[in-house]
């Protein structure tokens, strides 16, 4: 099932924006003429562009409806995988775009090789732009039509991780991946099942990344670290229940995603997306990385604590991901990565085998590039085996009763996200425009709805949710550490002592912090 996707903040149905950093082109653009665009409609769409002109063209097209120019995007990305191997002099030379054919077919692969003098055996059927744009449903269609195999999908995802995680864009979204041979072995088995007509469901053979606070069986050869060197040699007893469900549904676990260490419980003011093991995850949409002077929730922050899960999907590492949330840890990073996400109701998804913060608020939640993928993934992970969330995807507001909060009241405090000229007003305008559009479509819209404000629930000046989390965390982390098959630490007290001990080899002692205070999110 192919599902429409929301483009940025607008309600127009189209493809999501490309991550800015993923373009791998300097922001120092020339104001070159875009007369070459006239060839888009010609019968012979072959034209020359230098890199600055190409960047200018892509930036301009991004303001339009990308769905109508997808073929152009595919061709513009023909050579994206070659950038890392080109010298500066080579990057400054004009590049020829030979065709606007989609990049899935063997014919288009041969065309690329004939044009660029490459070895077709080294090219995947999925280009970097395919990995950015295609959701799991679209990939499943290609798997069904035998235009793609799960082995090819897994290899393409692992190559994208190799190219952009610690190299290239240096996103630091992934802490670990399984050995390639193990992934290929599992993918081959799923491909054989497909050939035999045994497809387990809509996510059969689809890849996923999961937050490194969710336990994965030692046979997958990925340690569950929670981002801490204290757990770098730990061994969990087996798959968490949610991982068991994923594997039963034929989903390939492609990697463990970076997170704010211990789901933000390392400290009150750690930069979101930082862990000692994984380093600092950065957004694929932000050129220049994080600015620490804008607050922990500032516009350059990737959000957390399920940071790597969101950034990984936006960077094309996998089409879907899992995170955990106590207070914003799925929704915030997914929002910053232009993804669909949902925090399921408490208790809908088993937390067994996951490192938890709170018995009252913790959930495991899905992230995806489309609402359809979100529904399919939610179907797999919930306890209710008869759930059928895709049936609610009617593509209609007609029977919905919706409430909108006042954006001037319900926004991050200035201390958490320092005001930046223009950004807050732009967000407010987009929000109210969306409300106005939905008012014409929905059964009922109430604005503004009246809800108890968070500060009205404070206890002794502190957020009540923080008090509850602090109270519940100790016994939860003690239980988690105690039940590990192997671990250097077995309790919260031992973990604190481990962190306070003299510096260990490979364990960084400096923790990046934002220049502000504000409530933590887990």
- Please tell me what DSSP assigns to residue 58: H
Determine how β-strand 320-325 pairs with β-strand 274-275: unpaired
Cβ neighbours around 8 below 10 Å, total: 11
Q: How high is the pLDDT of residue 353?
A: 98
- Dihedral (C-alpha) 308, 311, 313, 317: value to the nearest 10 degrees? -70
CA distances from 182 to 101, 122, 186, 239 (A): 34, 20, 6, 16
Q: How high is the pLDDT of residue 94?
A: 32
Q: Copy the structure tokens of residue 473.
A: 């965390």
Q: What is the pTM of this model?
A: 0.78
Residue 279: strand, helix, or coil: strand
How many angstroms separate the CA atoms of 385 and 213, rounded? 24
- Please tell me what DSSP assigns to residue 260: S
Burial status of residue 505 (CB atoms within 10 A of its CB: 0-12, 13-18, 19 or more):
exposed
Q: How high is the pLDDT of residue 315?
A: 97
**CA quadruple 344, 346, 350, 353: dihedral positive or negative?**
positive
Q: How many CA atoms lie within 13 A of 109 on its CB side?
A: 13
Question: In degrees rounded to 5, what are phi and psi of residue 66?
Answer: -60, -25
How many angstroms separate the CA atoms of 246 and 254, rounded? 12
Measured at the CA of 334, the angle between CA 433 and CA 227, to 5 degrees, comes to 155
Using alpha carbons, select from 306, 90, 351 the residue that is nearest to residue 215: 351
- Please tell me what DSSP assigns to residue 27: S
Q: How high is the pLDDT of residue 174?
A: 99
How many angstroms separate the CA atoms of 349 and 384, rounded? 9
How many angstroms separate the CA atoms of 307 and 19, rounded? 15
Catalytic (active-site) positions: 211, 305, 329
Using one digit for the tens of pLDDT, what is the confidence trace for 420-468?
888 889 999 999 999 999 999 999 999 999 999 988 999 888 889 989 9
What residues does each domain of the chain span? 15-128
How many angstroms separate the CA atoms of 88 and 25, rounded? 11
Measured at the CA of 405, the angle between CA 403 and CA 409, to 5 degrees, comes to 170
Q: How high is the pLDDT of residue 60?
A: 43
How many angstroms separate the CA atoms of 91 and 169, rounded? 17
Using one digit for the tens of pLDDT, what is the confidence trace for 325-380?
999 999 999 999 999 999 999 999 999 999 999 999 999 999 999 999 999 999 99
Residue 192: strand, helix, or coil: helix
Q: How high is the pLDDT of residue 19?
A: 52
Q: Name the stretches of the chain with pLDDT < 70.
A: 1-124, 503-522
Q: Are residues 374 and 405 in contact, defined by beta-carbon separation less than 8 angstroms? A: no
């Amino acid at each position: 099932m192919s599902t429409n996707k929301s483009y940025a903040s607008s309600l127009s149905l189209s493809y999501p924006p490309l991550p800015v950093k993923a373009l791998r082109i300097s922001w120092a653009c020339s104001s070159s003429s875009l007369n070459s665009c006239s060839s888009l409609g010609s019968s012979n769409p072959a034209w020359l562009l230098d890199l600055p002109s190409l960047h200018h063209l892509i930036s301009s097209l991004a303001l339009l409806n990308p769905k109508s120019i997808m073929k152009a995007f595919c061709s513009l990305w023909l050579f994206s995988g070659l950038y890392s191997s080109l010298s500066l002099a080579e990057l400054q030379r004009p590049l020829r775009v030979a065709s606007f054919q989609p990049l899935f077919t063997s014919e288009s692969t041969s065309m690329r090789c004939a044009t660029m003098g490459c070895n077709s055996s080294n090219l995947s059927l999925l280009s970097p732009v395919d990995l950015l744009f295609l959701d799991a449903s679209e990939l499943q269609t290609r798997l069904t039509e035998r235009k793609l195999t799960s082995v090819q999908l897994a290899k393409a995802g692992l190559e994208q991780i190799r190219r952009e995680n610690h190299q290239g864009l240096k996103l630091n979204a992934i802490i670990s991946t399984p050995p390639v041979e193990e992934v290929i072995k599992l993918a081959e088995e799923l491909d054989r099942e497909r050939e035999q007509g045994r497809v387990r469901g809509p996510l059969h053979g689809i890849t996923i990344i999961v937050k490194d606070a969710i336990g994965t069986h030692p046979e997958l050869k990925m340690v569950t670290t929670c981002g801490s060197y204290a757990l770098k040699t730990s061994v969990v007893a087996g798959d968490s229940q949610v991982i068991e469900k994923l594997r039963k549904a034929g989903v390939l676990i492609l990697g463990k995603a970076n997170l704010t260490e211990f789901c933000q419980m390392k400290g009150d003011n750690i930069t979101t997306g930082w862990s000692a093991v994984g380093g600092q995850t950065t957004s694929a949409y932000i050129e220049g990385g994080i600015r620490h002077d804008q607050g922990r929730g500032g516009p350059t922050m990737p959000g957390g604590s399920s940071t790597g899960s969101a950034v990984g999907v936006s960077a094309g590492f996998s089409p879907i991901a899992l995170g955990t949330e106590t207070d914003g840890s799925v929704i915030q990073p997914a929002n910053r990565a232009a993804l669909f996400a949902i925090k399921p109701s408490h208790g809908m998804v088993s937390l067994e085998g996951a490192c938890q913060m709170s018995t009252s608020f913790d959930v495991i939640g899905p992230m995806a590039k489309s609402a359809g993928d979100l529904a399919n993934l939610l179907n797999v992970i919930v306890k209710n085996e008869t759930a059928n969330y895709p049936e609610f995807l009617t593509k209609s507001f007609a029977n919905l009763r919706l409430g909108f909060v006042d954006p001037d009241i319900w926004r991050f405090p200035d201390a958490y996200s320092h005001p930046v000229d223009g950004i807050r007003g732009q967000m407010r305008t987009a929000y109210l425009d969306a409300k106005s559009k939905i008012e014409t479509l929905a059964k009922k819209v109430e604005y503004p709805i009246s809800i108890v404000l968070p500060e009205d629930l404070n206890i002794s000046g502190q957020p009540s949710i923080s008090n509850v989390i602090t109270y519940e965390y100790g016994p939860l982390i003690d239980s988690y550490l105690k039940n590990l098959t192997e671990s250097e630490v077995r309790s919260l007290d031992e973990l604190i002592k481990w962190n306070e001990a003299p510096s260990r080899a490979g364990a960084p002692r400096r923790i990046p912090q934002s220049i502000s205070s504000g409530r933590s999110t887990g």
